[in-house]
Amino acid sequence: MNIPTKDFKVKVGGFNVPVMYRDDDEYTRYARDGNPDGMFVTVDELRGPRIFLHASLLKQPNHRDYVFFHELMHCACYACGLKSAPKLNEEYIVHSLANTLLQVIKDNPKIFSS
């Protein structure tokens, strides 16, 4: 994976989603459960969905791939409307899909590189 090391945007469905490296007050405000490595945030309707990656991931490229992909899966659930499905264990689905799809991409670089 070639994830930019500065803030960038990723297109997911109809959304152009900012991906931001943070470890400041804005990050901790959204981090309800301790200090997670990443977050997909939709609570701010005016600014739309966003992905936060903890700035410490800049020094952990392999873990950054996983965290980015994990949050991207949450974003995909949001973009395709899965978040409103009844009795959905989104965290389980996202964790499983992120691990599997990330490995598929890494194992098939000819297919997924531009």
Torsion of CA 8, 12, 15, 17, to 10 degrees: -20
How wide is the angle at C-alpha 35 spanned by C-alphas 29 and 36, nearest 5°?
105
> Please, what is the minimum distance in Å from the beta carbon of residue 21 to Zn ion?
18
For residue 48, the minimal CB distance to Zn ion (Å) is 19
Q: In terms of CB distance, is 44 or 91 closer to Zn ion?
A: 91
Write the single-letter amino acid at 77. C
Instruction: Label residue 65 left, alpha or beta by phi (over 0 means left) and psi (-120 to 50 means alpha).
Output: alpha
Smallest separation (angstroms) from Zn ion to the CB of 74: 6
Nearer to Zn ion, 23 or 99 (CB): 99
Q: Could you say which residues in the range 54-113 bind Zn ion, by CB under 5 A?
A: 91
Nearer to Zn ion, 21 or 94 (CB): 94
Q: How far is the CB of 105 from Zn ion (least distance, A)?
A: 18
Residues β-bridged to residue 52:
20, 39
Please report, as ranges, the residues that interact with Zn ion according to CB under 5 A.
Answer: 91
